[in-house]
């Protein structure tokens, strides 16, 4: 039986470097719409955690994804869910959008 690797945690700096590279990565934001409207990272796609059973089937299991939320807990759950369904490359933004705002882009509001 193959061992399934857990998702990787990426720091805000790791994500910033990844976004500046040519690596194809889709950023999934699993927060609620009201949170996304308060603060978001450019290019992130809103896919609320509560709707995961609906949107999971629309994704390519071979494509790399970075999942984010407010502080990293909900996105860690989403990463585990995706890995359990055969997604090959799933990373969690450690510290969520709060870490992004603090370390990378202070123009993103904190809440």
Query: Using only C-alpha atoms, what is the Rg of the chain?
Result: 13
SS3 33: helix
Question: pTM for this one?
Answer: 0.92
Q: Whole-angstrom Cα distance, residue 89 to residue 98?
A: 23
Q: What residues are annotated to the active site?
A: 69
Q: For the CA atoms of 76, 80, 85, 90, what is the dihedral angle to 10 degrees?
A: 50
Helix and strand numbers (H, E) in the chain are: 5, 5
SS3 84: helix
* pLDDT tens for each residue of 42-82: 999 999 999 999 999 999 999 999 999 999 999 999 999 99
* pLDDT tens for each residue of 83-109: 999 999 999 999 999 999 999 999 999
Return the DSSP state at 106. T
């Amino acid at each position: 039986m193959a061992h399934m690797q857990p998702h990787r945690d990426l720091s805000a700096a790791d994500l910033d470097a990844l976004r500046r590279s040519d690596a194809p990565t889709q950023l999934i934001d699993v927060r609620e719409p009201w949170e996304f409207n308060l603060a978001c990272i450019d290019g992130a796609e809103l896919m609320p955690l509560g709707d995961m059973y609906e949107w999971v089937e629309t994704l390519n299991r071979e494509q790399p994804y970075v999942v984010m939320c407010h502080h990293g807990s909900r996105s860690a759950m989403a990463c585990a869910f995706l890995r359990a369904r055969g997604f090959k490359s799933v990373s969690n933004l450690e510290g969520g959008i709060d870490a992004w705002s603090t370390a990378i882009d202070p123009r993103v509001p904190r809440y």
